[in-house]
């Protein structure tokens, strides 16, 4: 271990879309603060560097998924993985924040000292196995919400008996040859609905095997507003107008679905019916038992999944797995699926703050017992923030708001001569609820690891851009619960 900690004012953990975005804000709005980014991987991009399965793309439109300060100028509304990765890398390079990244630094722990008003962060150099330390006044965790090392893999009976290949989409092997093969994709979420139409272009046949259906809606490959606006306006103006239109549409659609679920349900099912034809069994394969946005709604570009099904290059099977067999999968219904390759699109394992342990003045902290303040800081933890974006809209919209708030807070602390900011919660007087209000499997499996939200506006985790805009941009930094000293 190196003896002397490297010192910066703000330390950012993660160099993906969120971490690079925060670094850009800090450099522009807090020029007095030195900063560094610690990244476990050897490249910029986070999720978009990790996931390499065929067809990987955003499931939010790029006008809101991109940075407000760097317009998305490609024509695609749903960006593919390579373009998104290049966009993040370009954003880092343009702002010069790539020079502040320490790659292959996996954060193990963070320890706060009230006496020194600083965090000491211990990281493992994955290239040399050396342990190094950094100290900072303010620590920002931008490392996402899931385990990069392994996806969720259910325990399927008889898995070892299958003679073909079994892979998880999160660890897609670059050399995998699926051309002319029979492929079964297990899952019905965003990964599965992205993979299936892409695989079906080259496979002999592709099956999406699901226990239960998911709501799916179709997005145009190119946004009609953007196409029209580009004819009359500069690209950057067209981007900004389309971005605001999309923000309003996302919020309106979500609120409508929560308040009038039957109306939203009927609209989504009718879209599937129109795409697949009157003879297709929509009720069995595309009609979930829950209301829209009880779980995430999956986006597909211009009905590509439905087209693959209609053209019989792919099919959906709704059934439960009895066991793997030597040649494929035996289903509880008695039917069997033959396969050369089985792809597990079975979801994520959630991990809070990258799994790092946190101590304050020598006392280990149970993060799940704390409350989230303004969607970013944690109750009774000084100078510690996390960035967690929207699950019902583009992640980056909230990430941008949080980044701007952190800059406001840092500037306020500097002007007022304060070194420590700590949200103080009355845990006994607050009604606790889960961090996320979703019934998705990956959420229910992992929510016990996450802090809670409370029942007042400062302690709510909103899924609403306009509420967050007020809380994070308009509300004064000083309030009744934030202790500054």
Give pLDDT tens digits for 401-434.
999 999 999 999 999 999 999 999 887 778 889 8
Spell out the long-range contacts of 227-236 with Cβ–Cβ below 8 A and sequence spacing 24 or more.
227/75, 235/71, 235/73, 236/71
pLDDT in the model for residue 448:
86
Give pLDDT tens digits for 36-85.
999 999 999 999 999 999 999 998 899 999 999 999 988 889 999 999 99
Mean pLDDT, residues 205-234 taken together: 92
Helical (H) or strand (E) element with 154: none
Give pLDDT tens digits for 344-400.
999 899 999 999 999 999 999 999 999 999 999 999 999 999 999 998 889 999 999
- Smallest Cα–Cα separation from 21: which of 476, 394, 477? 394
Separation between Cα atoms, residue 174 and residue 155, nearest integer Å: 25
What domains, with CATH codes, occur in the chain? 6-149+349-484 (3.50.50.60), 159-225+256-344 (3.50.50.60)
Which 3 state secondary structure label does DSSP give 432? coil
Overall pTM surpassing 0.85 (yes/no): yes
Mean pLDDT, residues 82-110 taken together: 96
pLDDT band at 161 (very low <50, low <70, confident <90, very high): very high
Q: Which of 143-157, 327-341, 377-391 has the lowest mean pLDDT?
A: 143-157
Place of tokens 């079906």: 200
pLDDT in the model for residue 397:
95
pLDDT in the model for residue 447:
84
Give pLDDT tens digits for 174-194.
899 999 999 999 999 999 999
pLDDT in the model for residue 3:
55
Higher pLDDT, 11 or 252: 11
Average pLDDT, the chain: 93
């Amino acid at each position: 271990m190196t003896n002397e900690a490297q010192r910066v004012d703000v330390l950012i953990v993660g160099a993906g879309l969120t971490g690079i975005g925060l670094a850009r804000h800090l450099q522009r709005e807090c020029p007095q603060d030195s900063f560094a980014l610690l990244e476990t991987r050897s490249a910029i991009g986070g999720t978009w560097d990790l996931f390499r399965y065929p067809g990987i793309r955003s499931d939010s439109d790029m006008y809101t998924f991109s940075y407000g300060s760097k317009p998305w100028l490609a024509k695609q509304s749903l960006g593919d993985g390579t373009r998104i990765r290049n966009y993040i890398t370009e954003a880092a390079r343009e702002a010069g924040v790539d020079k502040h990244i320490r790659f292959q630094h996996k954060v193990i722990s963070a320890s706060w000292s009230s006496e020194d008003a600083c965090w000491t962060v211990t990281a493992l150099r994955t290239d040399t196995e050396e342990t190094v330390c950094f100290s900072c006044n303010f620590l920002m965790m931008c490392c996402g919400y899931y385990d990069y090392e392994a996806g969720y893999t259910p325990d399927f009976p008889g898995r070892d008996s299958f003679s073909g290949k079994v892979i998880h989409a999160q660890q897609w092997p670059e050399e995998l040859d699926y051309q002319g093969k029979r492929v079964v994709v297990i899952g019905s979420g965003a990964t599965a609905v992205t993979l299936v139409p892409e695989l079906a272009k080259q496979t002999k046949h592709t099956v999406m095997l699901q226990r239960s259906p998911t709501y799916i809606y179709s997005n145009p490959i190119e946004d009609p507003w953007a196409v029209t606006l580009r004819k009359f306006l500069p690209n950057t103006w067209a981007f900004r107008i389309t971005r605001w239109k999309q923000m309003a549409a996302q919020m309106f659609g979500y609120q409508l679905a929560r308040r009038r679920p039957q109306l939203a349900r009927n609209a989504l099912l009718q879209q599937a019916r129109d795409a697949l034809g009157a003879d297709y069994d929509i009720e069995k394969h595309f009609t979930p038992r829950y209301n829209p946005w009880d779980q995430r709604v999956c986006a597909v570009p211009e009905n590509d999944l439905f087209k693959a099904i209609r053209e019989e290059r792919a099919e959906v099977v709704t059934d439960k797995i009895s066991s793997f067999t030597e040649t494929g999968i035996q289903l509880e219904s008695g039917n069997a699926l033959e396969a050369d390759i089985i792809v597990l699109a079975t979801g994520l394992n959630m991990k809070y703050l990258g799994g790092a342990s946190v101590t304050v003045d020598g006392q280990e902290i149970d993060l799940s017992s704390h409350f989230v303040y303004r969607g970013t800081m944690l109750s009774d933890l000084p100078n510690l923030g996390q960035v967690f974006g929207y699950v019902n809209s583009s992640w980056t919209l909230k990430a941008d708001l949080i980044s701007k708030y952190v800059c406001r807070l840092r500037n306020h602390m500097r002007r007022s001569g304060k070194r420590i900011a700590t949200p103080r919660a009355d845990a006994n007087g607050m009604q606790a609820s889960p961090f996320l209000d979703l019934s998705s499997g990956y959420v229910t499996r992992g929510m016990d690891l996450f802090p809670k939200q409370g029942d007042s506006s400062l302690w709510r985790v909103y899924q609403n851009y306009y509420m967050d805009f007020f809380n994070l941009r308009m509300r004064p930094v000083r309030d009744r619960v934030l202790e500054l000293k």
